[in-house]
Amino acid sequence: MSEHKFQMSIDLQVLKHLGLYLYSNTSAVLSEVVANAWDADATEVAIEIGEDVISITDNGIGMNLSDINGKYLAVGYQKRAESGLSSIFHRPVMGRKGIGKLSLFSIACIVEVYSRKEGELNAFKIDIESLEEAVKTNETYYPTELSIENVDFTGDGTKIILRKLKKKRTAALATYLRQRLARRFSIIGAKNKFEVSINGEKVTISDRNYLSKAQCVWVFPPEDDADGFKEDLKRQTKQDKLKLMKELPSSIVLHGDTYSVTGWIATCSEPKELDDDEKLNRIVVMVRGKMAKEDIFSSIGTTALYSKYVFGELSADFLDLDDEMDITTSSRQDFFEDDDRYVALKEFIKGSLSKVRSDWEEVRGTNGVAEACEYVVVKDWYSELKGDDRKSAKKLFGKINQLTVEKEEKRELFKHGILAFESFKLKNELSQLEQISAENIAAFIEVAGRLDNIEATMYYQIVQERLAIIKKMQDVVSDGSLEKVIQDHLSKNLWLLDPSWDRGTEAPIVEQAFRTQFKAMEAELTREELDARLDIHYKKASNKHLIIELKKGDRTVKSREILTQVQKYFSATEKIMSKLSQTEPFEIIVLLGKRIDGKEYNENVFQRTRQALEAYQCRIMYYDELLRNAQNLYSDFLERNKNLSTLNDVINELEMD
């Protein structure tokens, strides 16, 4: 008989792979201890966290010497060999491989164990350094016996103390662990006679912080208590946020056998709600009340928009049946993916997610209208729509509402979406908007909604801007600075000369050539001609080269003077075009403030002069005529398109909000 009370045999490689490197975080390690307490029929588990020590005490059945050596220190002990149920409460046993206790060495260098069972007290410690030394030489390791006086709890149970922690612990760890443990177990709470506390504060279902984020919930209830299960889930949600709770089928048929899946899948309002200290955009798989796989959703392989909003928890106990092969990997955090049961579960989830997606898109569509109509002007615009137009707008808002964007970006998309909608409505092509998927809608409406691409709808705003410019120019006529205003605006607003000239394009080489010619011609002008001139411009619009001479508004210009200058412009332009191998058309425009020839005006002379100027690609325009024509043109447009004024209000409101 050995002189040592406690003994442990283990291979060094087993220790490293199943102990030192089994888990990487504290919550996973402590989950193994909590699971052992559940299997031991404990009703209370108290976890205390200090700066360099963690203790876990349970009031389970405890261990005698035989249990310690034959079960606890026997690595690989098959816990379910005797029974798959606990001895007192007949709980489904969580442990199976007998290696969970090794995970303690992932976070601590010293593990102390104190246990009481039916009056028998035992205490020992395992030091990782001495354990490693023993297994290097294939020797039996003998844990150090401790004084039983340190068994400081009454009644049966076990206390485990972790010392010389590998990472420094902080006060924040308690809050962190409370949430992590709440999420790793579905059996914590009075309902299952299993209370867990951390530093004296009970872990509750609210610590999970899951369903409070839910906007929609799809429920897979157990057959024996469907209503109670749904009510329990509903209590965890926020009723003012919950838009949908729907029951889905929860059975899987495999090789003639029927298995059940229970739990829920949910979607949140905004993906950022799933930003957490751990990834929540996932579907957890629970087995026997304990997390068995942190995320099965990522292996489904969907990139659809709705997937960014999904989270959930499904229990699939059929993955760990006592009379079936164990398909849990050695890390105890995953399953062998080629097993029929696991494959069947994935297919079940895929089928459920297709229903989730359909419902989600419908809810987001309805909510999209509500969100867009939070803006009064959008609400007014939407209320005016009828029949199929209204249905199309609802689908458009729904697609926008599916996007994972901030509120500011979404408002911008509502604006561009309305503009695109109006454009397609004018062309009787609204069906094109409906055919665009939600994944592509953002890029589409960003392009289709730009003001310079939405034809008549956008032109309304352009007209409003142009009328504002004209009004400003008219307001300054009285103070004699009209020519200066014209000079400032003309090069940027060629539409003042011709509505088809929306904007000028750059032709630097040609412009430089004209500037050189302008300077040469100025040297030939008389003092009177120089005094009459305000400025001369070169521009290009609609593939036409423009030479624009502005005369001062208070000067009277003679017919012969204009004709002489225009002849020079014409000659210079042809010369430049020839040198640059340009064959594009050109036009010369002379802007006057007063009638040509003043008091000496003669209609016959004017008409002959006009005809002569036409031969040189020239026309005469007057400042007041220019503004009057533009005013009439754009005012007529507004009068014919009064229905667009509401749209204009919508756009302005969304831009200013």
Do 468 and 563 belong together in one domain? yes
**End position of a domain, from candidates 146, 175, 205:** 205
| Res 477: pLDDT | 45
Do 228 and 333 belong together in one domain? yes
Has residue 648 been placed in a domain?
no
Beta bridge partners of 121: 116
Has residue 5 been placed in a domain?
no
Q: Lowest-confidence range among 112-116, 239-243, 305-309, 511-515?
A: 511-515
Residue 64 neighbours by CB under 8 Å, 6+ apart:
115, 117, 118, 120, 122
Q: What type of residue is 527?
A: R
Angle at 376 between CA 306 and CA 450, to 5 degrees: 65
Has residue 349 been placed in a domain?
yes
- The residue that leads in pLDDT, 33 or 337, is 33
Total structural domains within the chain: 4
3 state DSSP class of 74: coil
Do 133 and 50 belong together in one domain? yes
Do 553 and 569 belong together in one domain? yes
Do 479 and 628 belong together in one domain? yes
In whole angstroms, what is the distance from residue 401 CA to residue 388 CA? Answer: 20
Is 521's pLDDT higher than 60?
Answer: yes
3 state DSSP class of 483: helix
**End position of a domain, from candidates 170, 205, 240:** 205
- Average pLDDT for the chain: 79
| Res 1: pLDDT | 43
pTM: 0.63
Do 430 and 519 belong together in one domain? no
From residue 621, how far is each of 73, 110, 548, 593 by CA, in Å?
104, 97, 10, 9
pLDDT band at 94 (very low <50, low <70, confident <90, very high): confident
Has residue 161 been placed in a domain?
yes
pLDDT band at 478 (very low <50, low <70, confident <90, very high): very low
Do 126 and 78 belong together in one domain? yes
Has residue 2 been placed in a domain?
no
Encode pLDDT of 311-369 as tens digits: 999 999 888 876 667 666 545 566 777 788 888 999 999 999 999 999 988 888 788 88
Do 33 and 182 belong together in one domain? yes
Has residue 176 been placed in a domain?
yes
- Sign of the Cα torsion 327, 330, 332, 337 reads negative
- The residue that leads in pLDDT, 206 or 512, is 206
| Res 271: pLDDT | 86
| Res 451: pLDDT | 37
| Res 415: pLDDT | 78
Has residue 119 been placed in a domain?
yes
Do 181 and 250 belong together in one domain? no
**CATH number of residue 166's parent domain:** 3.30.565.10
Encode pLDDT of 529-550 as tens digits: 666 565 676 777 767 788 888 7
Do 377 and 325 belong together in one domain? no
Query: Can you give the residue range of the structural domain that contains 302?
Result: 209-357
Do 393 and 519 belong together in one domain? no
Tokens read off for 61: 């059945």
- The residue that leads in pLDDT, 560 or 475, is 560
Has residue 57 been placed in a domain?
yes
Do 532 and 594 belong together in one domain? yes
**End position of a domain, from candidates 187, 205, 223:** 205
